[in-house]
Structure 1
Amino acid sequence: MSHQPLMEVELYAFASSSAQFYLTPHEFDVDLDGNLYKSLALERNELALGAEAAKSALDLKLPPNCDLVRHLLANSPTGDTTSITLRIGRRDSWGDYWWISGTRWMGRVLGVEVADDVARVRCESAQVSLKRIGLRRLYSRKCSHVLYSAACGASPISGSAIVAQVYGRDVEFQDGIPGSVSGGLAGGWLQTPEGARYMIVSEGWSSVELLYPAAIEPGVLVSLTVGCDHSTATCQSRFNNLDNYGGFPAIPSKNPFSTGVF
């Protein structure tokens, strides 16, 4: 019994300032316009029908060890934006080649979360972000810069440790936490040799608590990078970077609309 070849496919293009990725959720690669869309076990949420589809948020599920996830994790501290375009490709009925029949969704990656067996990538529609009024930067007492980004300008502080045991979100180290990063890991991250990053919520004498559980084998050498609470005290004492501080600590605490001017 012969099977009719698939005539329509979904094509995902991811692009940042340092890399590009072309993926398709189907069981075969698609070569189109000089780009090879590689087959990957990729799932997405249901999009609205018609014009509303372009405004919907896009949530993707991917293997946690794929190149795209590693790139997103490695670039999350820098603030480098990754755009995403979902196009529809069609197979020519008279030959074995593909062509773009339309664009279904465009936007940017908001963030990535990694669990034991799946990575979740959250994306925002370009139509939603373009309709925002005013500046995107927040006017707040604490610094709004992404830590170690170009706007922040601080130099990363890191150390290495060997994993002894992993209990869900808690990771214990053989020789404790290195002195170079001790006391400052909350808000930072743990990075495995494969490039996967896990945000650190808190630290103890010889262990750290992660935001999500991590599947890390004992004996693995991991990197621990210092975090920041975005206060002026930490910016000065830990990074000596107060010149680049992005907060406004001198905002008056008295509200004239509720207490009166005088």
Structure 2
Amino acid sequence: MRSIPSALQAKLDSGATTLARCWIVTRRDGVVLGFTDHDCDLSVGGVACRAATGFTASEATSRFDLSVDGSEISGAFSDDALTEADLAAGRYDAAEIATWLVDWSDVALKVLIARGTLGEVRREGQAFTAELRGLADALAQDSGRLFTARCGVDLGDGKCRVNLADAAYHGSGAVTAMEGTSIIAVSGLGGFAEGWFTAGRLAWTGGANIGIAVEVKQHRIVSGEVRLSLWQAMAEPIAAGDGFTITAGCDKSFATCRDRFANTANFRGFPQIPGNDFVVSYPVPGAGG
């Protein structure tokens, strides 16, 4: 149950018009930003909530069952607050958002009215509309362990236990040329076999995309030159000389876990589970058992 300060409750009961909404956004990289629909900046819990972005919000929907509730916020991009480049780079993906109702004449009078995460974002020119997903959204996500032939954990996490800091599974390099929108020729990885970094993770340490990570689609060696294909185009242009670090990839099969990482003791799949071929197979006269 929400605890509403008595002074704020009195203003709510009186129909006071000194109320504003503030949103405090906490990105996964730890950056905290504040926004408000008031016409002046407000400070809520030590966070400066900016008015310059023209934030507005739709009415929230709520239900008595376990279906997902949510609302939307709209605003404009601002170079010193929320930039289009940061949004396109995924820095706001699944960011946590707290919505506060605040008395702008006395910001100590406030109440937390909702918590959620940032969902789908639609952009149009210099404006955007973002979906706010309520806490019930977590109930719609798959969780728990699945019975599949392939491993169900991420390479290098606490259950996998492969040390990705090991020089055998970790490399660094720089872009030498762009071969396409998401295909780059690189240096520094000549000591690794072709395919070693397929399905791996590349994190930019230099250039316009510094701090952003992306999955590697394919790692090839063509005429002695290493080429990496990325699963998605980067938000900012890639240039020759941009540095990166990269970790080995894993297709989550038992064979790869055994042969590449010698980590079968921590394999979290079920390689002996019958596959589709077994399920649809039928006896053939004269065929071996």
Q: Decide: shared fold, TM above 0.5.
A: yes
**1:43, 1:239 → 2: CA distance?**
51
What is the percentage of aligned positions where both structures have the same residue?
19
Q: Deviations over 1:113-164 (max 9, x none)?
A: xxxxxxxx9985421323679x522211000102221122111121112211
Deviation at 1:181, TM superposition (A): 6.2
**2:40, 2:159 → 1: CA distance?**
41
What is the match of residue 192 of structure 1?
204
Question: Which 10-residue stretch deviates more, 49-58 or 39-48?
Answer: 39-48
Residues 51/158 of structure 1: CA separation in 2 closer, same or farther (3 Å cut): same
Deviation at 1:218, TM superposition (A): 0.8
What is the match of residue 170 of structure 1?
183
Residues 58/223 of structure 1: CA separation in 2 closer, same or farther (3 Å cut): farther
Q: Deviations over 1:90-134 (max 9, x none)?
A: 2333x4x35433323425x7999xxxxxxxx9985421323679x
What is the match of residue 232 of structure 2?
212
**1:223, 1:111 → 2: CA distance?**
29
Partner residue of 2:61 out of 50, 56, 61: 50
Does structure 1 conserve the Cα–Cα contact (< 8 Å) formed by 2:70 and 2:131? no
Matched residue of 1:136: which SS?
coil
Partner residue of 1:36 out of 39, 44, 47: 47
Matched residue of 1:204: which SS?
strand
What's the TM-score once normalised by structure 2's chain length? 0.61
The structure having more radius of gyration, on CA atoms, is: 2
Amino acid at match of 1:51: S
What's the TM-score once normalised by structure 1's chain length? 0.67
**2:41, 2:256 → 1: CA distance?**
49
Q: Deviations over 1:161-202 (max 9, x none)?
A: 2211223111111x4633236422111122111221111111
CA RMSD of aligned residues (A): 4.4
Deviation at 1:204, TM superposition (A): 1.9
Matched residue of 1:239: which SS?
coil
Aligned residues: 230
**2:196, 2:155 → 1: CA distance?**
13
Partner residue of 2:34 out of 1, 16, 24: 24
Partner residue of 1:201 out of 207, 217, 221: 217
Matched residue of 1:161: which SS?
strand
Question: Which 10-residue stretch deviates more, 35-44 or 161-170?
Answer: 35-44
**2:134, 2:204 → 1: CA distance?**
31
Residues 201/99 of structure 1: CA separation in 2 closer, same or farther (3 Å cut): farther
**2:72, 2:250 → 1: CA distance?**
30
Matched residue of 2:62: which SS?
helix
Amino acid at match of 1:55: D
**2:120, 2:194 → 1: CA distance?**
27
Residues 32/48 of structure 1: CA separation in 2 closer, same or farther (3 Å cut): closer
Partner residue of 2:153 out of 129, 133, 145: 145
**2:154, 2:54 → 1: CA distance?**
29
Does structure 2 conserve the Cα–Cα contact (< 8 Å) formed by 1:87 and 1:100? no
Q: Deviations over 1:62-106 (max 9, x none)?
A: 64559x96698xxxxxxxxx772331242333x4x3543332342
